[in-house]
Structure 1
Amino acid sequence: MALIHPTAIVDPKAEIAEGVEIGPYAVIGPNVKIGAKTQIGAHTVVEGCTTIGQENKIGHFASVGGAPQDMKYRGEPTQLIIGDRNMIREFTTLHTGTIQDQGITKIGNDNWIMAYVHIAHDCVVGNNTIFSNNAQIAGHVHVDDHAILGGMSGVHQFVRIGEHSMIGGASKLVQDLPPYVIASGPIAEPHGLNAEGLKRRGFNPETITALKQAYKLLYKEGLSFEDAKKAIASLADQKQSTEAQTAEKLRIFHDFIAASQRGIAR
């Protein structure tokens, strides 16, 4: 049975799984689905076409599934989908998508989302990310697995953030941040490879060394963007026969920068 505080307002059409806990004065709308053992804190509002997976912990006063802050929005039934085992702390705001994109804002599994974080419409957040206090991402931003956003950082709409990258606190990111790279500053600039983070996540020394080479080719050798892409692709090819894992990570790095539409943070 779900444990629902008597002061909470839960629409009878909402789908509440077993083991869900809903705190005092929370409000749950009619088009909401909440998976087993998820906890909803006091005064939190969950509305819109929102699906929440299992074993999430959502803090007090959060706003989950609110309408997108987009002046083109006309009430279309867009969605917010949240995976499993996410920690979502107090006063966060997570909005549904718009029909100008896929109509879905999506958050994966095992993310740590701290207080006052804003995740706007049509964003796609992967797994195992960290959003520090007051990190804010605008609409249509994609954040890949294991990325870390520092406190009070802001991300421009349509920006992509690569896997295992890191944005420093109080930084403004206006272009794509490649995988494995640390960036910071008033307008975020790259400051090397996230080598310590990669070590902690089990990357072997050979892979880290090769990624440092790729970073230098992109940022330190004075190559044009096109020449840097070719050099990184060649490096991946060289590693394929002896270090398949390293070659795979190099290709992820190459493919990310090759697909960039906004340009790379440089």
Structure 2
Amino acid sequence: MATIHPTAIVDPKAELDASVEIGAYTIIGPHVRIGAGTVVGPHVVIEGHTTIGRDNRFFQFSSIGAQPQDKKWAGEPTRLEIGDRNTIREFCTFNTGTVQDKGVTRLGNDNWISAYVHLAHDCVVGNHTIFSNNAQLAGHVEIGDWVIMSGYANVHQFCKIGAHAFVGMSTSLTQDVPPFVLLSGNPAAAHGVNIEGMKRRGFTRAQIDGVRAAYKAIYRSGLTLEEAKQALVQQETDMPEAAAEIRAMREFLGVATRGIVR
């Protein structure tokens, strides 16, 4: 049996692995599933159709799986899915999805989510991200792997942030952010490539140089976006060791729906 504090309220229909720990005064709803090794601290509410993977740690006072903050929501059984090995600190709010989108909000694996972070309905967050205190996502936002969101950064609905991007403190985003780009400000502005993050993750000098060349083509050459895409195609050929990274930046330009921060 799971270790459940006597003051906690766990609906008998909830599915908890035998190794799960539930803290004092926590409430677990009937449609919740929690995987092995996950620890839920005191005063946490987990409700809705919420599935949580293995070895997660929830600190006190979070609201997980509540209905979306969307007036169109009409009681549909939309979902929240949380992967494995995530750390979720105090006062976080993660909402379920809406039928107007995919019907699910997703948080991947190995993410570090600090206090007061909000993941709104239909957001998709990848793996290995870091959200500092008070980072906020509006609905339908997509965050790639290894993205860092600094404190008080906020993202407009439907925006996309590519993998390995770095969003500075108090940045307000209303457009998409290509992979590897470092930006800050309100309104947001690009300030180069997240070189330090790439070094820490083992990217080679050739890969970093390729990303810097792609950044210059997009942001410093005076080219239109269509012209920049063609320049990146040539760079993939000229810099084969960085072709995958350059291609990721080029392909992101093709899926950006709100225009890029530029």
Number of the residue aligned with 1:223: 223
- 1:19 Cα offset (Å): 1.0
Residue 184 in structure 1 maps to residue 180 in structure 2 = no
Query: In terms of mean alpha carbon deviation, does 217-226 or 8-17 score higher?
Result: 217-226
RMSD of aligned Cα (Å) = 0.7
Please list the CA deviations of residues 25-81 of structure 1 after superposition, one character each: whole Å capped at 9, or x if unmatched. Answer: 000000000001101111100000000001000010100000000000001000000
What letter matches 1:53 in structure 2? G
Counterpart CA distance in 2 for 1:18 and 1:159 is 39
Kindly report which structure 2 residues correspond to 1:234-253, keeping only aligned pairs within 5 A, or say none: 234-240=234-240, 243=241, 246-253=242-249
TM-score for both structures, normalised by structure 2: 0.99
Corresponding residue SS for 2:182? strand
- 1:180 Cα offset (Å): 0.3
Residue 146 in structure 1 maps to residue 111 in structure 2 = no
Residue 261 in structure 1 maps to residue 260 in structure 2 = no
Q: Number of paired residues?
A: 262
What letter matches 1:258 in structure 2? G
- 1:2 Cα offset (Å): 1.1
- 1:205 Cα offset (Å): 0.1
Query: In terms of mean alpha carbon deviation, does 26-35 or 253-262 score higher?
Result: 253-262
Counterpart CA distance in 2 for 1:48 and 1:22 is 17
Which blocks of at least 5 consecutive residues in structure 2 are unaligned?
none
Kindly report which structure 2 residues correspond to 1:30-49, keeping only aligned pairs within 5 A, or say none: 30-49=30-49
Number of the residue aligned with 1:158: 158
Runs of 4+ in 1 over 6 A off after TM superposition: none
TM-score for both structures, normalised by structure 1: 0.97
What letter matches 1:71 in structure 2? K
- 1:247 Cα offset (Å): 0.5
Kindly report which structure 2 residues correspond to 1:75-224, keeping only aligned pairs within 5 A, or say none: 75-224=75-224
Counterpart CA distance in 1 for 2:149 and 2:226 is 28
- 1:237 Cα offset (Å): 2.5
Counterpart CA distance in 2 for 1:102 and 1:224 is 33
What percentage of aligned pairs have identical amino acids? 55
Which blocks of at least 5 consecutive residues in structure 1 are unaligned?
none
